[in-house]
Amino acid sequence: MRVAALQLDIAWEDPAANIARADALAARAVAVGARMAVLPEMFNTGFTMSAVRAAQHAERTRAAMAEIAVRHGLWVAGGYVDSPGPEEGSPAADSGRPRNACSIFAPTGDEVLRYHKIHPFSLAGEHEHYDGGTTLPTAEVEGLRVTPLVCYDLRFPEPFRIAAERTDLYLVIANWPDARRDAWRTLLRARAIENQAWLLGVNRVGEGDGLSYAGDSALIDPLGATVAECTGAEAVMAGDVDVARVTEVRERFGFLADRKPDVYAGL
């Protein structure tokens, strides 16, 4: 299955402009044979701390993603600010704050998954404006088991490991500044290697709220090899993901089977 990172130059807090850009990039993804197109974190606004205002665009943004999926016959994934409300599948109480979300839409326009970022980025004060999620869903996309995470989640190996046995492809969508680009590139490869799964990292480019973004979107294979990457400018980066490669690597190198969770719990 060919997947495409839509490395977007996000217009700051301008949903209409960003949705139009996303639609144009999706058309380019189709032209290179992609079956799934993935947008960055908060692709419609940029990484804003104006959470309540941004959440007002949640329904409109989901509708636009569904329309893009139907119009181009694509699976579409991307991030936005979700409205306050109880999280599906979670017993946790709702504080009434928005959440940093990622949704996946089928070519029919149906939303098949909605994930809320587990780790708000405290260094930027995200935790003061957004609630963290408490569930980690996985969706099947034409036989490919896909688990999304968002930006700062990349620094925490635990959710990746928990989802490893039900995941063929991790999506990591981000607004990751170029000042920490070495960490981004290193952690993408680390999460793929340690979980023996494909990983598609999708970052933004351009300027937003005083920060610069270099992109460095990349597709990493289950052994940590970079299959495709792009940097510096708005682009469509595509590469092929093979489920059989995950099975092959895990059968040949039985590292996941050698884990000792019972021992770890007592350490």
Is 41 an annotated catalytic residue? yes
User: HEC states along the chain?
Assistant: CEEEEEECECCCCCHHHHHHHHHHHHHHHHHCCCCEEECCCCCCCCCCCCHHHHHCCHHHHHHHHHHHHHHHCCEEEEEEEECCCCCCCCCCCCCCCCEEEEEEECCCCCEEEEEECCCCCHHHCHHHCCECCCCCCCEEECCEEEEEEEHHHHHCHHHHHHHHHHCCEEEEECCCCHHHHHHHHHHHHHHHHHHCCEEEEECCEEEECCEEEECCEEEECCCCCEEEEECCCCEEEEEECCHHHHHHHHHHCCCHHHCCHHHHHHC
- Catalytic residue of the set 41, 87, 126, 229: 41
Is 260 an annotated catalytic residue? no
- Catalytic residue of the set 13, 87, 102, 117: 117
- Catalytic residue of the set 13, 87, 126, 151: 151
Is 151 an annotated catalytic residue? yes
Which residues are identified as catalytic? 41, 117, 151
